[in-house]
Amino acid sequence: MFDYLIVGAGFAGSVLAERLAAAENKKVLLIDKRNHIGGNAYDHYDNEGILIHKYGPHIFHTNSQEVFNYLSKFTEWRHYQHKVLADLDGQQVPVPINLTTINTLYNLNLSSNELEGFFAGKAEDVKQVRTSEDVVVKAVGRDLYNKFFKGYTQKQWDLDPSELDASVTARVPTRTNKDDRYFTDTYQSMPLNGYTKMFENMLNHPNIKIMLNTDYHEITDDIAFNKMIFTGPVDEYFDYCYGKLPYRSINFKFETLDKEQFQRTGTVNYPNDYAFTRITEFKYLTGQKHHKTSLVYEFPTANGDPYYPIPRPENAELYKKYKALADQSDTYFVGRLATYKYYNMDQVVAQALSMYKKIKAEITIKPMHNEAAA
């Protein structure tokens, strides 16, 4: 009899498996329908021996010391500050928009102070900020909106920014200095030997059994367990009884080139040209040295694995209905798919660690079935 059946071996499921097995001495069966652990953070060596991320580039960054310390039990780190350029009008300029971006794009020589005035001069007067378009146009004006946001958003979501909630683009800041890091978090590091190795260390415990290639529907009748922790899509769990929660997906196209380096930064965005949104060159992220180099192109698409919850009010409403069911259920729901929220990895780790604390408190109050019997 397993104490917990955990569905999904990504960050959410693996953190809970580790905590319950190692700290609470619970017997855990961790399953995933894919043939590997790690969820969307899974990395592996491609046929040329280059470490790649199967589900698109994953860069770890967090402000949470708790999350960073927790993961540090399972990996060493390599400092890495991600940089992104946008390929625009035949040049490549830093993203998020900073002083260099503007000076390069408009052939200017502004100072930081002058840049604020530049943005102010471009900004449009938007009375009521409701959509993504409103946010950007109000901050930096229509020209920069057209260059950086309109096309990229159209590709990424198949929606015009005017159709998207203001909250979506609120995340894209501008900077008046030359800071060209994509993230500004305190901790920016990659697991030294990759994500999969980190997951292996996390799950390397005698109380944790791992079953792959396994959808939970296939085994719940055959395998005895006390409680389920679910990190898959919440609508799937409830048989889509209120309809499907909409997701945006991505087709990843991988390519290996017979040269050492392809582009100037880890990622280059293509806001307006081509069907893909961006190209990432993995060796920047991993620090690997190799005489060849592997890239991934991202082509957003409507169909495929559920990656990005689509941030529209009606979807949030639909999720609320599922959440009501989840709250009444005996199963615990954790992670990006189970809570229908675009979380970064560190946020999922934090969510899983709080869920662990909640479960721990419950165990302490009312012992589980098999403990009472013992």
Ligand X SMILES: Cc1cc2nc3c(=O)[nH]c(=O)nc-3n(C[C@H](O)[C@H](O)[C@H](O)COP(=O)(O)OP(=O)(O)OC[C@H]3O[C@@H](n4cnc5c(N)ncnc54)[C@H](O)[C@@H]3O)c2cc1C
Element (H, E) at 317: helix 313-328
Q: Measured over all CA atoms, what is the biggest interatomic distance in the chain, rounded to whole angstroms?
A: 76
Per-residue contact string for residues 281-310; x = within reach of ligand X by CB under 6 A: --------------------------x---
Both tokens of residue 103? 């000076």
- Residue 140 binds which of ligand X, its own copies, none (CB < 5-8 A, kind-dependent): none
Please tell me whether residue 7 binds ligand X under the rule CB under 6 A: yes
Both tokens of residue 218? 């296939």
φ/ψ of 324, rounded to 5, equals -60, -45
Please tell me whether residue 28 binds ligand X under the rule CB under 6 A: no
Among the residue ranges 45-53, 85-93, 315-323, 355-363, the one whose residues contact its own copies (CB under 8 A): 45-53
The residue from 200, 242, 246, 370 that contacts its own copies (CB under 8 A) is 200
With tokens 């035949």, the residue in question is: 90
* Residues between 54 and 93 with contacts to its own copies, criterion CB under 8 A: none
- Residue 256 binds which of its own copies, ligand X, none (CB < 5-8 A, kind-dependent): none
- Residue 2 binds which of ligand X, its own copies, none (CB < 5-8 A, kind-dependent): its own copies
- Residue 170 binds which of its own copies, ligand X, none (CB < 5-8 A, kind-dependent): none
- Cβ neighbours for 205, distance < 8 A, ≥ 6 positions apart: 18, 21, 22
Q: Distance between CA atoms of 26 and 184, rounded to whole angstroms?
A: 38
Name the residue among 106, 56, 49, 44 with its Cα closest to residue 267. 56
Q: Distance between CA atoms of 205 and 249, rounded to whole angstroms?
A: 34
Q: Min. distance of Cβ 12 from its own copies in angstroms?
A: 19
Among the residue ranges 86-94, 97-105, 207-215, 311-319, the one whose residues contact its own copies (CB under 8 A): 207-215
Q: Distance between CA atoms of 12 and 354, rounded to whole angstroms?
A: 11
Element (H, E) at 255: strand 247-257
Q: Distance between CA atoms of 6 and 116, rounded to whole angstroms?
A: 50
- Residue 56 binds which of its own copies, ligand X, none (CB < 5-8 A, kind-dependent): ligand X
- Residue 35 binds which of its own copies, ligand X, none (CB < 5-8 A, kind-dependent): its own copies
Among the residue ranges 5-13, 117-125, 140-148, 256-264, the one whose residues contact ligand X (CB under 6 A): 5-13
* Residues between 36 and 75 with contacts to ligand X, criterion CB under 6 A: 39-41, 55-60
3-state secondary structure of 264: coil
The residue from 20, 97, 136, 337 that contacts ligand X (CB under 6 A) is 337
Among the residue ranges 1-9, 21-29, 165-173, 310-318, the one whose residues contact ligand X (CB under 6 A): 1-9
With tokens 């954790």, the residue in question is: 334
Name the residue among 254, 250, 355 with its Cα closest to residue 40. 250
Please tell me whether residue 32 binds ligand X under the rule CB under 6 A: yes
* Residues between 182 and 221 with contacts to ligand X, criterion CB under 6 A: 215-216
Name the residue among 157, 196, 194 with its Cα closest to residue 308. 157
The residue from 12, 50, 86, 144 that contacts its own copies (CB under 8 A) is 50
Q: Distance between CA atoms of 218 and 212, rounded to whole angstroms?
A: 12
Which residues bind to its own copies, rule: CB under 8 A? 1-2, 35, 45, 47, 49-51, 192-193, 200, 203-206, 208-214, 218-219, 222-224, 288-291
